A = this chain, B = another copy of it.
Amino acid sequence: MADPRARLLALDGLDPLIERGRLQWRALAEAPPGADLVLLGLVDGVPHFVAVPDRAGNAATGRPPHIFGLLAQLPRDEMALYGAARAMVEWHGRHRFCPACAGTTSAFKGGWGRQCGGCGAQHFPRTDPVVIMLAEHDGAVLLGRGLGWPEGRYSALAGFVEPGESIEEAVARELLEESGVRAFDVRYVASQPWPFPSQLMIGCHCISEGRALDIDTSELADLIWATRDEVVAALAGDADARFIAPPPFAIARDLLEWWVAG
Contact = CB atoms under 8 A, between A and B. Distances in A.
Contacts of A95: 99-100
B163 A88 contact: yes
Interface in A114-153: 121, 123-129
A201 B54 CA distance: 35
Given A126-B126, A127-B129, A191 B163 contact: no
Interface size class of A (residues with CB under 8 A): 35 or more
If over half of A's interface residues share one DSSP class (helix, strand or loop), that class is named, otherwise mixed; here it is mixed
Contacts of A191: 166-168
Contacts of A16: none
A192 B163 contact: no
Nearest to A125: B163
A57 B91 CA distance: 22
Interface centre among A95, A100, A165, A200 (most CB of B within 10 A): A200
Contacts of A104: 102
Contacts of A163: 83-84, 87-88, 91, 125, 127, 193, 195, 198
Given A99-B105, A165-B193, 5 more contacts: A87-B163, A96-B100, A166-B192, A166-B200, A167-B191
The 10 closest A-B pairs by CB, nearest first: A84-B164, A87-B163, A97-B102, A188-B188, A167-B191, A95-B99, A83-B164, A102-B102, A166-B191, A99-B99
Interface of A: 57, 80-81, 83-85, 87-88, 91, 93-102, 104-105, 112, 121, 123-129, 160-168, 188, 190-193, 195, 198, 200, 202
